[in-house]
């Protein structure tokens, strides 16, 4: 895919400034999705439908990276070095760093700060604070079996 799409960084693709807030990025992605979502092209000829899917996937990739503060910081470094996209290898490295910070758990950007606080509280022996933060994390990520297991572990510690 050697075309104009390959020449666009995520900020340009989503039409946001490099200093854009998370809310501005969400709004920009919403506008982007209204224009390029594949559902809009179900009756279009195959080449046009495939192109819309390609553009939408790239925009979703940009949205995912720019909305995550840690991934965005790493992307900005890559962008300064002339790299317009995060490779799968860059994303894997980012995920490993994220897991290390959250005590080995893979969690969403909204749940991550609560998991980090819970991990710190557990290390300090403050299981009440850990429990509260794990419940808050589960509020952002219901059904996460690893978070539920960690919460059960904390509740066992509190029951002693």
Domain residue extents for the chain: 4-98, 103-159
DSSP state of 3: S
Cβ pair 114, 133 in contact under 8 A:
yes
User: Count of H helices and E strands in the chain?
Assistant: 8, 0
129-157 CB burial, b ≥16 within 10 A, e <16: bbbbbbebbbebbeebeebeebbeebeee
112: pLDDT confidence band, cut at 50, 70 and 90?
confident
Output the six-digit token pair for 136: 């808050």
Summarised one tens digit per residue, pLDDT across range 5-40 is 989 999 999 999 999 999 999 999 999 999 999 999
Summarised one tens digit per residue, pLDDT across range 94-108 is 766 666 665 666 667
- CATH architecture group of domain 4-98: Orthogonal Bundle (1.10)
Please give the pLDDT value at position 2: 53
Cβ pair 6, 61 in contact under 8 A:
no
pTM of the model: 0.60
Rounded to an integer, what distance in angstroms lies between the CA atom of residue 40 and that of residue 67? 24
């Amino acid at each position: 895919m050697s075309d104009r799409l390959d020449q666009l960084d995520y900020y340009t693709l989503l039409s946001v400034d490099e200093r854009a807030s998370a809310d501005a990025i969400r709004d920009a992605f919403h506008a982007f999705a209204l224009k390029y979502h594949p559902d809009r092209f179900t009756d279009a000829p195959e080449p046009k439908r495939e192109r819309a899917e390609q553009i939408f996937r790239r925009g979703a990739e940009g949205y995912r990276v720019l909305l995550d503060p840690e991934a965005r910081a790493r992307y900005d470094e890559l962008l300064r070095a002339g790299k317009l996209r995060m490779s799968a290898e860059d994303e894997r490295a980012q995920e490993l760093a994220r897991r290390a910070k959250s005590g080995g758990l893979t969690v969403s950007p909204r749940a991550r700060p609560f998991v980090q606080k819970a991990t710190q509280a557990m290390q300090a022996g403050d299981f009440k604070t850990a429990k509260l933060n794990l419940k808050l994390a589960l509020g952002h990520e219901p059904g996460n079996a690893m978070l539920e297991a960690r919460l059960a572990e904390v509740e066992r510690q509190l029951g002693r």
